[in-house]
Amino acid sequence: MIYLDNSATTKPYPEVIETAGTVAERYFANPSSAHQLGEEASALLKQARQQIAQILKVRADEVYFTASGTEANNWVLQGIVDALHSKNTDRKRVLLSAIEHPASLQQIELLQRKGYDVDLVPVDQWGRLDTDKLRDMLDEHVLLLSTMAVNNEVGTVQPLAAIAEIIADYPQLIWHVDGVQAVTTELELLRNKRIDLLTLSAHKFHGLRGVGVLVKKERVASYPLLYGGGQEAGQRSSTENLPAIVASAKALRLADDAQAEARRRLHDFRVQLVTALEEAGWQIFGGAYTSTHIVCAALPPIPGEVLLHAFERMGIFVSTTSACSSRSHNPHATLNAMRVSSNISNSAIRLSLSHTTTQADITAFIQALPKVTQMKGKG
């Protein structure tokens, strides 16, 4: 099996699974319990929070655990936007980049029903946020700007440093960055001090499903996401998923340790893939601005789903768009925002690599490529 769908989910590291199992067995007590077992579980939770904070270079009390990246993004655009608005009732503008994950874009209608003005910041032909347009769209009424660090469908790395510079004149603006796809090779981008809110998802970096992370800086007002027992500083009540949280901290540390080596190796793999695809007549998106671990390519007029299953029959697993949208047969949202015509975007597939991708995986894909490509000649 050749797995090239790591942007959908990654295979947990063996040591991450081992850690989760150990914690589940030895530290099964509720971290909120007052007895010794609860205290031990609470100490482990605190340690995991501190480890993640150290890696991201934020304070431990600015790290909140959720059940997923989607949940963290919903918290940002609901409880946090509402709290920001309550303190500045004359401000009701929310800006989202046009290529955000559905976890953000699908909340636009809800925001508008609440009375917020929501505008999409366009991207250029490579999928990068149009910083000139962003500059034009900013004013003193903007509550929150949400951008990605690395796009999930095309892999374009967003110009976070330039964005930080542009919004420097708007200190009231709260900046949220969806960093879910950035951990594999672009972790350093997430340490930008201007970022107020940051979303991560553990299963995207070889952790377990069921854990998201929201970094919320002290200055950011918020209403609780979930009400109940008061966990997560009263902001997200629910008994913490301690085994998966501790395993997530370990996975993030392993990703941080492997970052430099992963970037170098995956860059080499991406060059091999892009060269082979271009020589075979495929169209590549994102250009030089793309993260080393994602390749988005199309072979029109063959539908992406047909290409996906052609590779699957040879034991190679790729995806058409994001995993969240692939079964709904929705248009390729990012390519549409890049103004790629639908007859080309409908043919797009995504290859996504990770630290576990090997040269043998890349070689196998390249060897399978001619057989899939010849489908075009057969009409």
**Of 162, 254, 324, 368, which is the active-site residue?**
324
| Helix ranges (DSSP H) in 151-217 | 160-166
Single-letter code of the amino acid located at 284 = I
Question: How many H helices and E strands in the chain?
Answer: 14, 12
**Termini Cα distance of the chain:** 28
Q: What angle do CA 34, 38, 41 make, to 5 degrees?
A: 145
Whether omega for the bond prior to residue 301 falls within 30 degrees of 0, making it cis, is yes
Return the residue matching tokens 């590549």: 284
Q: What is the DSSP string of 291-319?
A: -TTEEEEE-TTS-HHHHHHHHHTTTEE-B
**How far is it, in rounded angstroms, from Cα 278 to Cα 118?**
38
CB atoms under 10 Å from CB of 340, counted, come to 21
Any catalytic annotation for residue 324?
yes
**How far is it, in rounded angstroms, from Cα 118 to Cα 121?**
10
**How far is it, in rounded angstroms, from Cα 193 to Cα 214?**
15
Cα–Cα distance list, 337 to 34, 38, 98, 130, 225 (Å): 52, 49, 6, 11, 31
Beta strand segments in the chain, E: 2-3, 63-66, 93-97, 117-121, 142-148, 174-178, 197-201, 212-216, 283-285, 294-298, 316-317, 348-352
Q: Which residues are catalytic?
A: 324
